[in-house]
Amino acid sequence: MFPLSSQKKYWTFNNEQHLNELRKKQNEKFQETHGEAEAEDNRLDYFLDSSEERLLLKQYEIYLNDFCRRFEPTMPKCVVGTSFHYFKRFYLHNSPMDFHPKEILATCVYLACKVEEFNVSIGQFVNNIKGDRNKAMDIILSNELLLMQHLNYYLTVHNPYRPIEGFLIDIKTRSSLTNAERLRQHIDDFIEKSFFTDACLLYAPSQIALAAVLHAASREQENLDSYVTDILFNGAREKLPLLVEAIRKIRLMVKQYEIPPRDKVKTIEKKLEKCRNQENNPDSEIYKERMRKMFCDDDLEIDLQANSAADMSVLNMSH
């Protein structure tokens, strides 16, 4: 039940301003921690600001969706939704300068596969990633526990898909709408677009589902207002004003979503390569040394320099 869930209690927020404050706080925290050597004026040019971070993460949400869409075997919708939740939650409390989104992205999807019981092995999973799959496997497995820790181990996600099925069954049974199945494609398109917004961090899955159904009806030149007021909320009309306002805001968020400009994203990515935390960069010597200390005891020394297979590179997921 969503009202009693950890999602409702810990991962549903009052407004977009609260989300932006959390993100800005992480940006400032990173700059304070890693910017001691930089003069105040230079920080603006050297580090990403919070608006640049948002553009970057929006682009990687597109990569996440594309990766899930191309995944073989075909990925259930619930895995895609849960992946988005994990990705968005992680970056409410972390800066992409600290943990590069291309590495966290794949870990979010892999963890979502497990939680949603979409049974694919790590070998099957990395077969969907371009580039060195052994390196990708190392990155994903080394980040899995980190991701769970930053999600506070609240891994159960309530997606809008079940409420959608409930609404469609109810519409077929109790409304005058004919052939409710024709709404499905519009609903799916709306839900997909909603994951590019912050709607899942602000509204209940049932509200997002109903917004999708009403949007789909309007696209089919149908009107379900009487279904909502006279059937769905018959006897609970006092709740209608809040519901109507929530649905209006969700639909507006989806309508106003804009794809980030690719040229700006490329500039931000170049900037990120210089200012990212090298301790969390699998290509850096600092990272390799840390891994060496973690996995090597006094009786066993592994020369990472001599073994190029152990050199974990970035995940190639942006093409």
Domain ranges of the chain: 2-156+261-275, 160-256
* Gap between the Cα atoms of 280 and 164, Å rounded: 40
pLDDT band at 311 (very low <50, low <70, confident <90, very high): very low
* b/e map 94-118, b = 16+ CB within 10 Å: bbbbbbbbbbbbbbbbbbbbebbeb
In contact, 208 and 194? CB cutoff 8 Å: yes
Same fold, 2-156+261-275 and 160-256: yes
pLDDT averaged over the chain? Answer: 90
* Gap between the Cα atoms of 138 and 282, Å rounded: 9
Instruction: Tell me what pLDDT residue 37 has.
Output: 64
For the domain made up of 160-256, give the CATH fold: Cyclin A; domain 1 (1.10.472)
The CATH H-level (homologous superfamily) assignment of domain 2-156+261-275 is Cyclin-like (1.10.472.10)
pLDDT in tens, 105-151: 999 999 999 999 999 999 999 999 998 999 999 999 999 999 999 99
- pLDDT at position 180 over 80: yes
Rounded (5°) CA angle 274-143-32: 40
- Secondary structure class of 316 (helix, strand, coil): strand
pLDDT band at 98 (very low <50, low <70, confident <90, very high): very high
In contact, 4 and 156? CB cutoff 8 Å: no
pLDDT band at 294 (very low <50, low <70, confident <90, very high): low
Instruction: Tell me what pLDDT residue 23 has.
Output: 98
- Percent of the chain predicted with pLDDT > 70: 89
pTM reported for the whole predicted model = 0.89
* Gap between the Cα atoms of 208 and 247, Å rounded: 7
Rounded to a whole number of angstroms, the CA Rg of the chain reads 22
| Phi-psi domain of 117 (left: phi exceeds 0; alpha: psi -120 through 50; beta: other) | left
Instruction: Tell me what pLDDT residue 312 has.
Output: 36
Give counts: helices (H), strands (E), the chain: 16, 0
